[in-house]
Amino acid sequence: MSDSHTPSRRRVMAGNWKMYKTQAETRAFFEAFLPLIADADHCDIVIAPPFTSIAAAVEKTKDTKIGIAGQNSHWQKEGAFTGEVSTGMLVESGCRYVIVGHSERRQYNGETDDIVAQKSRSALAAGLIPIVCLGENFTERETGRTEEVLSQQFIGGPGALTHEEFSRILLAYEPVWAIGTGRTATPEIAAAAHQFLRRCVQDQFSAEIAAGLRILYGGSVKPDNIQGLMAQRELDGTLVGGASLEPKSFATIVNCK
Ligand code: 13P
């Protein structure tokens, strides 16, 4: 299998705002951000605001190529699920993507690999592109269990999709120990994990699907480490938390070539 960065693997630079930014802050962000990325034709750009700011984000980006994402969605079309939002609701609000299985949801909301698979299926059925997250925690890495954990999360989650479904998702490798800690994975550590995940994809699906899959890296991505990360051909983009909140810093990340 070739691991070369083929033109079909168009880069994706995504920002996950988590529980940050009101509607007013969202509008102000895009007013500052849009001029800074006006020439960024080399990548897809995605922003995941909180639910309440999605409408403002969609409105501000309507004449741009920026895609808006939900940070979560339920797998059922509708029902008595207080506090939840369906994939159809996200589509109606103008979203094109949804983040699935973020480690913060796995940790605080008990999201399992099976739920990740169900949510991914539901997102695809609604026409959304799921950004499916997985990654090991600190203890798992320290005890040499990274590949075991990644393989388990892969097989029970996105690996449970059909070939056709899987060919439409994005994967995000987010080692938990690197999220919000300032401890970015070195470019080599990130690339090795991506390579391993690509091998899992090849084993489960096919070499062709593995070669076409875009895998994003997330975990303390900053303007000062983006060059090193993007120099790795295995990395097809990034999923950025903290550094996506500030227009200049996210623009620097997006504009890295
Ligand atoms: P940080 O970039 O703040 O480490 O967050 C990464 C992340 O969780 C993106 O989904």
To 10 degrees, what angle do helices 247-255 and 23-36 make?
40
**Tens digits of per-residue pLDDT, 197-221?**
999 999 999 999 999 999 999 999 9
**Tens digits of per-residue pLDDT, 215-253?**
999 999 999 999 999 999 999 999 999 999 999 999 999
**In whole angstroms, what is the distance from residue 145 CA to residue 143 CA?**
6
Please say if the pLDDT value at position 7 is more than 90.
Answer: no
Separation in Å, CA 93 to CA 16, 69, 85, 99, 178: 17, 10, 11, 15, 32
**Tens digits of per-residue pLDDT, 105-126?**
999 999 999 999 999 999 999 9
- Ligand 1 centroid from CA 127, angstroms: 25
pLDDT given at position 5: 46
- Ligand 1 centroid from CA 156, angstroms: 23
- Ligand 1 centroid from CA 222, angstroms: 10
**Tens digits of per-residue pLDDT, 128-174?**
999 999 999 999 999 999 999 999 999 999 999 999 999 999 999 99
Long-range contacts of 202-210 (CB under 8 A, 24+ apart): 202/1, 204/154, 204/155, 204/159, 205/163, 205/166, 205/167, 206/163, 207/1, 209/163, 209/166, 209/167, 210/1
Summarize the confidence of residues 186-190 as an average pLDDT.
95
**Tens digits of per-residue pLDDT, 8-47?**
799 999 999 999 999 999 999 999 999 999 999 999 999 9
Whether residue 174 lies in the annotated active site? yes
The residue whose CA has the least distance to atom 7 of ligand 1 is 241
Looking only at the bridges linking them, the beta strands covering 237-240 and 11-16 are: parallel
**Closest by Cα among 89, 9, 33 to 252:** 33
Ligand 1, residues at Cβ distance < 6 Å: 16, 102, 174, 179-180, 218-221, 239-243
Check 136, 174, 194, 234 and give the catalytic one.
Answer: 174
Whether residue 102 lies in the annotated active site? yes
pLDDT given at position 183: 87
